Structure 1
């Protein structure tokens, strides 16, 4: 299938051939018939992509600070590599999609195959969309009319925050597509609406829809015009749908408002607010978030959990349905806003001149017949069955920024890469000369040319995919953690027969710093303190979800359990964990873990999310036989009391490159797993034990 993407690096807009996504649980697969180009939003993305690095930095000062902090901790080269890798990842364009449902995922009862639906899907021939971001289209609404659903919901959410009442005067600043839809909805709501824009064509459309217009380009004084129209009172509310860098708009909004008026920001403008202007009138100011309540809520959008209507009357899905109802009943006329209809293949007619385009609404029309393959073959590689061919499942940041560069250095032979959407996998396949991109990971398991399967998906998929790959007779590498529950782990134990290797991505034991310390201290009993200055993550991130990410202890702290196991040359016998807070639960990212080892060694893991990002991220201290080794952030290791050793200094090296090189050599030449299977099981069980200890407040034995 074909999809329109935007390169952040070059600014080029591309029609890319990618595999069709698989329908997922809680979602529907839609074959697109029409999509609407949001000229305002997409123009900003295109212009940002075309900007040079300095211009990009000026537009995102918060990102610049993150880069500077990363340089302090990781060094210049790894930081620049990460930045350019991020810029090399394209963005799918579009969020106003209409089509027919062709497949329904598990757990979806609201939709059936053949239903016409509107969604926030991208400009792609097929899209897989969670059910709470999909709405059924009334029979009397055409596909191109329904394409206005999502962008209409953006304007509607701004109106809901403004809370206009019948007869109030509301000013809409900016009569682009969202502004015109907002103004017409306000007129339908019984408001007197004043529209402000410099474009005569747009103000004329607004005038025909019953809007009083003010055009500064025609000599109108915006503030005085509003004051005059309202007989000196001022506007009850101002909704800003404009996109501009100036601070003048927010100042004008304040000056034209009545006392205790409301100002709602839907667009993007400068926000250097004057305290005096807002203070004297006691104005309220609020920023509107996209389509409405539920937006960016992982549980609502991807978990399919709706907000009870008695507590949250208008969610983003219910806003979608309201727009469709308004079109169906004739209260909202969107046909008059369509200025052009363009075939998908002719997309450049829109995007090549998007910065100077006078169009209001551009509709993309999709072919009735299109390629529906879930695999795209980019080239015919020379792969032999039973060789060292690699299939990668997962195309996230770890795959793109860490694994693929390391595999390239190791001259790996990659047959296929699987990704959920198909886009990220295809982009990586092109960059790293991978033969095939697919959205069905079972294609990789069935491929005789694939001998090593590498899994880097979300954590809740690891155990299932590891088990399936082992049963398919493949060598397996899986990024940590191996499993999230004891039941999952036992399933892996049952599938593992030792004929193929199983490696978990405990890369730190392969770092030259850890290898050096191991060589210096040997296997004598020791005390090891590992500190992870992990940094905080947003509370709604999937990693914190115990069913999806397993939490940061199981998901990340397992790295250090393995590292200490490697250094001590022993296995964990018992574990206890204490977390910060008066009532810690099973999910924490501020905890200290104490480990007892079979050979008498002791390990302490301090996993903290409340430290400064300007400090080193990882630190390991080893105390043994009146000697001390201290490793700082995998860049510097110092020794005290060792004969002939005082310091090792390298660039940031967490062991990924050596790990993957050794793994590929092992698959080619044969031999045992890089990490003994019993150590992998012990580490995984110890991470489960840490969580159990937090619940019980007692030591947990690891069997």
Structure 2
């Protein structure tokens, strides 16, 4: 399929050939017929992409601080590589999509094949969209009109927050597409609407829709104009849909408001607010979030959990439906806002000079004859099956920033890369000379050439993918964790016992030169190991905290150090006991300490903390044994005390990824990838589950 992408690095917009997405559970697969270009938002993204690195940094000072912190802890070159990798990520454009449902995912009940729908899908021939971000289109609305649904809901949410009542005077600052839609919906709500913009064309369109509109450049002072229109009372509410860096707009909004007036920001402006202007009138100010309640809530958008209507009357989906109803009844007229309808192949007519475009609404038209193709050939390669062919599943940050760079220079032969949407996988296939990009995992499993499946997806997908690959007789590498619960682990063990394939988890820290040096100096004698991870806080809404999706940070990440202790002591874990910070420690596994007893009498402590300084080293390891002490600092420096003939090892940051993946590529040629004993992989996984159980029950838990 074809999809419009934009480079954050260069600002170049292209029409890319990608594999079509496969419909997921809770989603519908839509064949696009029309999409609307949001010129304001998309112009901003294109201009950001075209900016120099210095200009990008000035626009995102918070990101600059993150980069500086990373340089302090990990060094200059790794940080530079990370920044450039991020900038190379292509960005799919668009969020106003109309089309026909061609497939429905598991659990979808509101839609069927053949339905015409509007969604926040991208500019692509096929999109897979969660059902709570999709709405049915009434029969009397054309596809072009329905393309205004999502962008109209942005304005509608701003209106809901300003809470207008019939007869009130509401000012709309900025009469671009969202501003015009907002103003017309306010008129339909029975309000007197005043709007202003610097573009005469937009002002004239607004006047035709019953809006009192003017251009401040033609001599009208916005504050005086509004006060004159309201008999010096001021506006009851102001909706700001403009995009500008100046602080003048928020000041004007305050000055033109009546006492206890309401101001809602939908656009992007400077927000250096004068306390006096807001204090004297007791003004309220609120920033509107996109389409409405549910936005950026994974439970609502991706799990399909609706907000109960008696308590949250207007969600983003119900806003979509309201906009469609307004268009259907003629209360919102959008046909006159269409400046152009352009075939997808001629997308550059819109994007070629988007910075100077005077268009109000540009519509992209799609062919209805296109068929979905889940796999495309990116690079024609002569692969040699006898040397071990790889199918790579997952194209997220780990694959992009760690796995593929670590494989660079090896003779790894990657035939397939699988990604859910096709965008990331295709970009990585192009960069790393991978033969095919696909959205079909089963294609990899059914390919007899593929010897090794490497899985780097979200954690909740690991167990099922591992089981299916083992059932097909494939060798499997899976980035940690192996599973999220005992049921998943039991299914993997059952498949492993019947399979000809071998299994490896991405416990890369074993392979670091620092770990190898420590192991050589202490041998297998009983020891005490203290491992500390200064992990840093992750916002609570991020998927890693969801026990059903990410498994939490102990199962998902602290397992690295449980494995490292097993490796260094040469002994499996016998029992664990975990405690965590706070009055409700079971809810705070970000800040926890795990005590570990090993079968050979060694002991370990894993400190996993998220409340430390980012400027301090992220990882630290201390080993005490036979009157020797070894301190490893962030996989950059290891210092020995009482270690005859060794005092210090210093390298660039090396967590063992390159050595691990190099060893896997070499070992698969021998017919397996068993670099870590299978019973240790299972033992460490069970120990991570036991740590969570220990926290809940407040006692030591023995490992079976």
Q: TM-score range by the shorter chain?
A: over 0.9
Instruction: Write the distance in 2 (CA, Å) between the matches of 1:317 and 1:386.
Output: 52
What's 1:677 paired with? 678
Matches for 1:513-552 after TM superposition, within 5 Å = 513-552=514-553
Q: Is the 8 A contact 1:158 1:239 kept in 2?
A: yes
- CA drift of 1:393 comes to 0.5
- CA drift of 1:387 comes to 3.1
Q: Which deviates further from its counterpart, 368-377 or 82-91?
A: 368-377
Q: Which aligned runs of 4 or more in structure 1 are off by greater than 6 angstroms?
A: none
* 1:693 maps onto 2:694 in alignment: yes
What's 1:115 paired with? 115
Matches for 1:76-225 after TM superposition, within 5 Å = 76-225=76-225
Q: Which deviates further from its counterpart, 378-387 or 263-272?
A: 378-387
TM-score by length of 1: 0.99
Secondary structure at the counterpart of residue 154 of structure 2: helix
* 1:659 maps onto 2:660 in alignment: yes
What's 1:470 paired with? 470
What's 1:354 paired with? 354
What's 1:591 paired with? 592
Q: Is the 8 A contact 1:199 1:217 kept in 2?
A: no
Instruction: Write the distance in 1 (CA, Å) between the matches of 2:673 and 2:256.
Output: 75
Q: Is the 8 A contact 1:663 1:674 kept in 2?
A: yes
Deviations 1:657-697 (A, max 9, x none): 00000011100134560010000000000001111111111
Query: Over aligned residue pairs, what C-alpha RMSD do you find?
Result: 1.0
Matches for 1:259-658 after TM superposition, within 5 Å = 259-497=259-497, 499-585=500-586, 588-658=589-659
What's 1:41 paired with? 41
- CA drift of 1:386 comes to 4.7
Q: Is the 8 A contact 1:474 1:500 kept in 2?
A: yes
Instruction: Write the distance in 2 (CA, Å) between the matches of 1:491 and 1:165.
Output: 59
Instruction: Write the distance in 2 (CA, Å) between the matches of 1:510 and 1:649.
Output: 16
Secondary structure at the counterpart of residue 596 of structure 2: strand
Secondary structure at the counterpart of residue 31 of structure 1: strand
Deviations 1:71-117 (A, max 9, x none): 11111111110000000001100000000000010000000000000
Deviations 1:554-575 (A, max 9, x none): 0001000001110101000011
Instruction: Write the distance in 1 (CA, Å) between the matches of 2:69 and 2:667.
Output: 38
Instruction: Write the distance in 2 (CA, Å) between the matches of 1:421 and 1:645.
Output: 50
Q: Is the 8 A contact 2:501 2:672 kept in 1?
A: no
Instruction: Write the distance in 1 (CA, Å) between the matches of 2:263 and 2:439.
Output: 45
- Structure 1's unaligned 5+ residue stretches are none
Secondary structure at the counterpart of residue 559 of structure 1: helix
Secondary structure at the counterpart of residue 403 of structure 1: helix
Instruction: Write the distance in 2 (CA, Å) between the matches of 1:670 and 1:365.
Output: 51
Deviations 1:309-359 (A, max 9, x none): 011000000000000000000000000100100000000000011000000
Instruction: Write the distance in 2 (CA, Å) between the matches of 1:540 and 1:298.
Output: 8
Deviations 1:408-457 (A, max 9, x none): 23231110000000111001000101000000111111112211110000
User: What number of residue pairs does the alignment pair up?
Assistant: 703
Q: Is the 8 A contact 1:410 1:657 kept in 2?
A: no
- CA drift of 1:384 comes to 3.4
Matches for 1:10-25 after TM superposition, within 5 Å = 10-25=10-25
- CA drift of 1:598 comes to 0.4
- CA drift of 1:380 comes to 2.6
Instruction: Write the distance in 2 (CA, Å) between the matches of 1:277 and 1:638.
Output: 60
Secondary structure at the counterpart of residue 382 of structure 1: coil
Secondary structure at the counterpart of residue 648 of structure 1: strand
Instruction: Write the distance in 2 (CA, Å) between the matches of 1:460 and 1:41.
Output: 33
- Structure 2's unaligned 5+ residue stretches are none
Q: Is the 8 A contact 1:385 1:448 kept in 2?
A: no
Instruction: Write the distance in 1 (CA, Å) between the matches of 2:529 and 2:410.
Output: 32
